[in-house]
Amino acid sequence: MTPTHSAARPTAREGLAARLPAFPWDALGPAREQAAAHPDGIADLSVGTPVDPTPPLVQEALAAAADSPGYPTTIGTPAMREALVDFVRRHRGAPAELGVDAVLPTVGSKELVAHLPFQLGLGLGDVIAFPHIAYPTYDMGARFVGAAPLPLDMARLAAEGDAALPAGTDLTRIRLLWLNSPSNPTGEVLDVAQLAALLAWARERGILVASDECYALLPWTVDEVPSILDPRVNDGSLDGLLCVYSLSKQSNLAGYRAAFVAGDPALVGELVAVRKQAGMMLPGPVQAAMAAALGDDAGPAAQREIYRARRELLAPALRAAGGEIHGSEAGLYLWTTFGEDAMTSVDRLADLGVLVAPGMFYGEGGARFVRVALTATDERIAAAARRLERP
């Protein structure tokens, strides 16, 4: 006899997926079709996916490690771990005492953001805070485990502390604070004083801090992009903090899903223990490629200049079209307002064959902004600039 679902038993359609909001980029379908109808084709500036070649030395390292019949380890190869330690010391201000027990390669940074609350044992009754204009996956990570999402203005929180919290917030329930600097989508950068204030506020209340810093090697109008690993920020202690990082942007490794987490050895140890049980091992050939990329400073420096040229072409074109660029101090996006509702801007630019992302994808504070990505080919960036300058 075939079993039937009772009224009290939820079907698969009534499970987690049914409780999540629609994937925001699906709503861009009509605008994408409109932009694609342009006689010269679409200039897609809506998604921050790299289009330039992966550095040859990384490709060569991947190919050399292609014969990989055994299972990779959760913690990564010794060469991979040493490369991670060396990278965060050189580029993220990590102290000399940070060792291999404080780093862990991960399968992508989006995946880590989405699953970190689960791996830290958070769930129903807990609150997870994150920037009020932010990459949606911080919110999704909270929802996946039944925790309550709490969007906060991080600059205001750094300056005002508890006064920046919504009325009625139960501080005792906040278990994790996400930071994102440089921000996706705004490109704003938290300075040393702001990061230090946020970390001190969280530590005084027993709140873990995870800092997503994956755009850090792409500064434009700031002298530095400080890290939560920097002793100037953490007062010489890694306790209760994690730095999340990705090579997708700086080395064009989005397709490799090459990322890592570094910080408090005790917290990293918890993640290792969970991942040993759950899998999530970075493939061996990707570890070899990632180790090569971590030691390559020339490739990211050259890629940064490519993005600089695209930015210098696109920014004045947006202004010529009536746009006003806010933030955008670092990273791959120009956070732009035309003084109107975001979808009005999206549709108007789509008529020019230029597709951008509406700011409300990133929170209510983005309702009058669009995010314009620099991750299109030189030819498509130039086409977009021409269309914006001469609508």
- Decide: 161 and 201 in contact? Cβ < 8 Å: yes
Nearest Cα residue to 344 out of 360, 363, 332: 360
Token readout for 189 is 């950068």
- Decide: 119 and 268 in contact? Cβ < 8 Å: no
In the chain, the domains with their CATH numbers are 26-53+299-389 (3.90.1150.10), 57-295 (3.40.640.10)
| Predicted local confidence at residue 113, as pLDDT | 96
Angstrom CA distances, 336 to 31, 214, 329, 366, 374, stand at 18, 21, 12, 10, 13
Q: What is the pLDDT along the chain (391 residues), one digit of tens a residue?
A: 333 443 444 454 467 777 777 777 788 899 999 999 999 999 999 998 999 999 999 999 999 999 999 999 999 999 999 999 999 999 999 999 999 999 999 998 999 999 999 999 999 999 999 999 999 999 999 999 999 999 999 999 999 999 999 999 999 999 999 999 999 999 999 999 999 999 999 999 999 999 999 999 999 999 999 999 999 999 999 999 999 999 999 999 999 999 999 999 999 999 999 999 998 899 999 999 999 999 999 999 999 999 999 999 999 999 999 999 999 999 999 999 999 999 999 999 999 999 999 999 999 999 999 999 999 999 999 999 999 998 6
Angstrom CA distances, 191 to 94, 186, 214, 231, stand at 16, 15, 16, 13
| Predicted local confidence at residue 6, as pLDDT | 39
Angstrom CA distances, 163 to 145, 206, 220, stand at 28, 18, 32
